[in-house]
Amino acid sequence: MSEQRKVSEEAGEVRRFWGRLGLPGLIDVHTHFMPERVLHKVWAYFDTNGPLVGGLEWPITYRKAEEERAALLREFGVRAFTSMLYPHKPGMAGWLNGWAADFARRTPDCLHTATLYPEPDVETYVREAVAAGARVFKAHVQVGAYDPADERLDPAWGVLAEAGTPVVMHCGSGPAPGKHTGPEPVARVLARHPRLRLIVAHMGMPEYEEFLGLAERYNEVRLDTTMAFTDFTEGFMPYPRAALPRFAALGDRILFGSDFPNIPYPYLHQLQALERLGLGEEWLRAVCHDNAAALFTAADPHTCPSPAPSG
């Protein structure tokens, strides 16, 4: 089968998935768009099966040009997505934020995304990004190799908590641990900023239960499904079945995320992996669309899709 035909068949199946649920489409809180040069470096890293990806074989399924990738998300019926980008050293976040602001301007279905790093001017550029309309932040504790409870970040978390701007944080120790990954540093951040709208990426893999505990304790903590429950992840960091009832009970704070385009399987598989948990259609509607719609509509009623009439 030709590559083009395979992709449009997959798009049809993705659309049928949310169509069956009676949704107007999907909202994907965890997709990566970044300057091409940076993204190519990320892909080259995945190709090495290096330690940050746990030494795993990790073929990038959607290694395409930027415009094709955005078009494909639209074909899938993704109504809103993000441009998760993140620095690995000081002096880089401001530049990335400038790129992301421009990307959001030319990509109206992308939620304007920004990032941060512990450095002297972090509060200033986080304030500027929020004022410029950033709707979501990304923090990558593993790649950035910083302590999220670093005191230089404290005023920035304060700004984000005050503004109610969600921050997607890769803070679990999967697929490989970093110096400051795991629930403990995040617990220190939340103790100081209990209203921070933290979205724990990848369900906090593999510290699933500890991060679930933080979400149970703090009402503004959410989890994204990114890569969790897929055959790929279940193969080396399976979700503990005993924790599923607790996970199901948090249905209004679980957000669909995919990690597109950097995934070693088709996009559809993430959706099927959620469906086969058997938590029901209402749960799927909330996770795949309604929870994110409510979260981002609350931040700005004018530019985000409104929740679907579900039922």
User: In this structure, what are the phi and psi dihedrals at residue 255, rounded to the nearest 5 degrees?
Assistant: -120, 135
Q: Is 28 in the site for Zn ion (CB under 5 A)?
A: no
Residue 207 or 259 with smaller CB distance to Zn ion: 259
Binding test (CB under 5 A) with Zn ion, winner from 10, 259, 275, 290: 259
Give the Cα separation of 139 and 31 in Å (integer): 13
Give the nearest residue (CB) to Zn ion: 259
- Which bin fits 204, alpha (ψ -120 to 50), beta or left (φ > 0)? left
Q: Give the Cα-Cα-Cα angle 108, 111, 117 (nearest 5 degrees).
A: 135
Give the Cα separation of 68 and 80 in Å (integer): 16
In whole angstroms, the minimum distance from the beta carbon of 168 to Zn ion comes to 8
Residue 259 or 290 with smaller CB distance to Zn ion: 259
Helix (H) or strand (E) segment spanning residue 81:
strand 78-82
Within 8 A by CB and 6+ apart from 256, the residues are: 26, 27, 28, 29, 224, 225, 270, 271, 274, 287, 288, 289, 292
Residue 159 or 168 with smaller CB distance to Zn ion: 168
In whole angstroms, the minimum distance from the beta carbon of 25 to Zn ion comes to 21
In whole angstroms, the minimum distance from the beta carbon of 310 to Zn ion comes to 27
Q: Is 119 in the site for Zn ion (CB under 5 A)?
A: no
Residue 123 or 259 with smaller CB distance to Zn ion: 259
- Site stretch for Zn ion (CB under 5 A), options 128-136, 157-165, 184-192, 258-266: 258-266
Residue 263 or 279 with smaller CB distance to Zn ion: 263
Give the residues lining the site for Zn ion (CB under 5 A).
259
